[in-house]
């Protein structure tokens, strides 16, 4: 038994050019279509690559700033828990030796642990980028400035038209915390 089929609901479209047959349509139309596609790709591809680079660079900046801020929070928390203020509320930071409270906090910020060995949590950050201060009685402030260098390098060459353009910039993180007694 033959079953009746449903009527076709497909929308009629104009037929695409079939350039595989040499006689129909004309070879000239086929060559123009291929050339047009190459021109379109040539215009669009650099823009898409630039957009992809910008998105990934923004992601790297966001990741670097988040990592920096979290490490500064951890270092400040360690310093606040080990610092002892004097009778006026001033705090002495001991940056010397492996037992110094500021020394350990600096290592925690830079390396992620108090030992001070291994690779830094962010490429290029050192303990020299860290500043400890006592802004008020029983308060500790830790400031870190990290120089961020983009994926394409620290400078952009203008191809002989002036000086190279500096692309690096400083990410700053500052945390103030009360001394934990």
Pick from 166, 147, 168, 170: nearest CA to 157:
166
Say if CB 168 and CB 149 are below 8 A apart: yes
Q: So what's the pLDDT on residue 157? A: 87
Compute φ and ψ for 115, nearest 5 degrees: -70, -30
3-class DSSP state of 116: coil
Compute φ and ψ for 32, nearest 5 degrees: -65, -40
Instruction: Provide the whole-model pTM.
Output: 0.74
Q: So what's the pLDDT on residue 100? A: 87
- Per-residue pLDDT of the chain (181 residues), as tens digits, is 566 666 555 555 555 555 555 555 566 666 666 677 788 899 999 999 999 999 999 999 999 999 999 999 999 999 999 888 888 878 888 877 788 899 999 999 999 999 888 999 999 999 999 999 999 888 999 999 999 999 988 898 888 888 999 999 999 999 999 988 7
Q: So what's the pLDDT on residue 16? A: 56
Pick from 101, 100, 98, 95: nearest CA to 117:
98
The rounded radius of gyration (Å) of the Cα atoms in the chain is: 31
Taking CA atoms, 147 is separated from 42, 55, 89, 170, in Å, by: 36, 20, 33, 4
Q: Compute the distance between CA of residue 28 and CA of residue 125 in angstroms, rounded to an integer.
A: 61
């Amino acid at each position: 038994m033959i079953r009746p089929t449903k009527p076709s609901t497909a929308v009629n479209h104009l037929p695409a050019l079939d350039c595989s047959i040499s006689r129909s349509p004309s070879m000239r139309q086929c060559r123009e279509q291929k050339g047009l596609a190459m021109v379109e790709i040539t215009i669009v591809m650099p823009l898409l690559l630039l957009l992809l680079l910008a998105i990934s660079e923004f992601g790297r900046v966001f990741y670097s700033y988040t990592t920096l801020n979290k490490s500064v929070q951890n270092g400040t928390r360690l310093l606040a828990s080990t610092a002892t203020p004097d009778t006026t509320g001033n705090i002495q930071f001991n940056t010397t030796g492996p037992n110094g409270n500021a020394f350990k906090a600096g290592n925690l910020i830079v390396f992620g642990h108090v030992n001070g060995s291994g690779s830094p949590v962010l490429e290029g950050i050192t303990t020299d980028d860290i500043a400890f201060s006592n802004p008020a009685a029983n308060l500790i402030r830790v400031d870190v400035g990290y120089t961020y260098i983009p994926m394409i390098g620290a400078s952009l060459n203008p191809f002989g038209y002036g000086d190279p353009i500096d692309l690096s910039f400083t990410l700053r993180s500052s945390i103030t915390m009360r001394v934990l007694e």
